[in-house]
Amino acid sequence: MGSLDGRVAIVTGAGRGIGRSTALLLAREGASVVVNDLGGAVDGSGRDIGPASQVTAEIAEAGGKAVANGADVSDHAAAEELIKTAIADFGRLDVLVNVAGILRDRMIFNMSEQEWDDVIRVHMRGTFNTSKFAAAHWRSLREENAHNRIINFTSVSGLHGAPGQPNYAAAKMGIVGLTYSCANSLAKYGVTVNAISPGAATRMTDSVPLERRRSGRPDVDEWSPDNVATVVAYLASERSSWLTGRIVHASGYELALYSNPEPEIRLVGREPWDLDGLAEQVERSFRPRAGRSA
């Protein structure tokens, strides 16, 4: 028996990398999977249904259920059709995993409008599009005891501010805000919404030297995207109902739960601040001193 028997999942960007590993594992655990992938290059150019079809064939060969879908998730109407495909082909939808993504790295002072827009469009609008139509579907059902899931993908690039990825960092932090908002709005419909910050060797990280084998074991592939897929499978299961509105870092064999932002120091005045008074208070309370971090 699999932990996802009878469940239906959509995985976007499932033709390669982390999405592919996720689709294969969810299917092995018993889920029926819509394998979505536009099949473009890392920068988003081009289109090919091949990768999605290949993953679908692998799932079928292993005895699982899957259907390929080549929609561009950043296309609002195509995203609606994607959600409808799960319901038409498998009768329901339980899990939406928003993995699809592209890169157009450039320093802020050299970045073109197009590079900015393309990355924001695929990551942010793409995640919004699929989430919107999945949420509308779940809301229309008003199912008792529902265990619906939205699992988004953010990045340390945004969380830590990668200097050469202003568009990607902004998009990935936009997805964090979307995750918090949807977690709050959809709880009453039995939907949990979380974001994973992954680390895995894929074509997207080809140019980034990943720290080698922190585990020190030569017999295991620490940076396989399969390791991220295990975390997605847990979040996709009914067991994870207690967890929503959080960021989980899953990189190699490391797992971490991020704290959600909250005020660190609060200053409350009784009247409008005058500039000198504000400067004095802020520097006394907020400014890092030796032994205290920013």
Ligand X SMILES: NC(=O)c1ccc[n+]([C@@H]2O[C@H](COP(=O)([O-])OP(=O)(O)OC[C@H]3O[C@@H](n4cnc5c(N)ncnc54)[C@H](O)[C@@H]3O)[C@@H](O)[C@H]2O)c1
Query: Which residue, 52 or 190, has its beta carbon nearer to ligand X?
Result: 52
Q: Is 180 a catalytic residue?
A: no
Give the whole-angstrom CA distance, residue 199 versus residue 156: 9
- Which residue(s) pair with 153 in the sheet? 196
By beta carbon distance, the residue nearest ligand X is: 17
Both tokens of residue 93? 């939808």
Q: How many of the other CB atoms lie within 10 Å of CB of 120?
A: 17
Least Å distance, CB 8 to ligand X, is 19
> Can 32 be counted among the known catalytic residues?
no
Pick between residue 23 and residue 186 the one whose CB is nearest to ligand X. Answer: 23
Residue in the block written with tokens 């660190």: 264
Contact yes or no for 213/221 (Cβ under 8 A): no
Complex with ligand X: residue 29 or 105, whichever CB lies closer: 105
Please say whether the beta carbons of 233 and 4 come within 8 A: yes
Name the residue nearer to ligand X (CB basis): 119 or 190: 119
| Binding site residues, ligand X, CB under 6 A | 12-13, 15-19, 36-40, 42, 44, 51, 72-74, 99-102, 122, 126, 153, 155, 198-200, 202-205, 225
Name the residue nearer to ligand X (CB basis): 12 or 179.
12
Q: What is the dihedral of CA 206, 71, 98, 111, to 10 degrees?
A: 50
Intra-chain end-to-end CA distance of the chain, in Å = 50
The Cα–Cα gap between 188 and 142 comes to: 9
**Least distance (Å) between residue 19 CB and ligand X:** 5
In the numeric block, which tokens belong to residue 266? 């609060």
Concerning whether 155 is annotated as a catalytic residue, the answer is yes
Pairing of strands 254-257, 247-251: antiparallel
Residues ≥6 apart with Cβ < 8 Å to 286: 265
Q: Which two tokens stand for residue 241?
A: 């109902």
Cβ distance to ligand X smaller for residue 8 or 55: 55
Q: Which of 32, 131, 155, 251 is catalytic?
A: 155
- Going across the sheet that includes 8-12, the strands are 65-69, 32-36, 8-12, 95-98, 148-153, 191-199, 247-251, 254-257
Residue from 122, 233, 224, 100 nearest 170 by CA: 122
Q: Which residues are catalytic?
A: 155, 168, 172
